[in-house]
Structure 1
Amino acid sequence: MARTLVAVADDESTWGRPWHAPTPPPRSIREPAGLAATLAAAPTARTSRMPASVLRLAGLFNADAREIPEVRYQFDHPFVLDSRQAQEAFGLTPTPTEDALRETVTAAPSAA
């Protein structure tokens, strides 16, 4: 993200349009959750879909939960971001998911 911001800020001809920071290939949420658990030597992450009715009920008590149904479509179908234009324009490459997760897990304070 930072490399993209610096590249765009440094070239006035790129101003005034959106640029997607380089991203690795899309994955399901289960894949990085499982990899993060493995890297952290933690039990396998369990993921499941929360029923819409439960989200609406939670929204009665929590403002953040109230907003989730509006963006739920992002979880119903593949949500793929195409960053090829930024990669080609600025010569940037995405950080591999494995590297980003490894850095995050290594930097996180131990729960023990």
Structure 2
Amino acid sequence: MSGNSTRPLDIYWYLPTHGDGPYLGTDERHRPATFGYLKEIAQAADRLGFKGVLLPTGTRCEDAWIVAAGLIPLTERLKFLVALRPGSGTPALFARHAATLDRISGGRVLLNV
């Protein structure tokens, strides 16, 4: 690849599916991950031209697949980078989820393994 590439930089935002707040590692002034709050973030990221959003996975996070499925019809171009944790499901199940979500979203699903 030459140093004169004009390919734009893809910038993704983060959906705090575990909640949000100004202080890491504490519940002080914690904002819960309500669907309304996540919808506001996704729609703002879509409107502002972000390429996509990362949906994390973890014990305190809402399910990334379900959140993505709920938000896809509420956005227009935004891609959903769904985090997977190997061992938390089978490859066949992940493939089925990804294929279905990708079809119903018109190709707006990405995976973060």
Place the TM-score, normalised by the shorter chain, in its bin: under 0.3
TM-score by length of 2: 0.23
Q: Which has the larger radius of gyration?
A: 1
Higher helix share: 1
TM-score by length of 1: 0.23
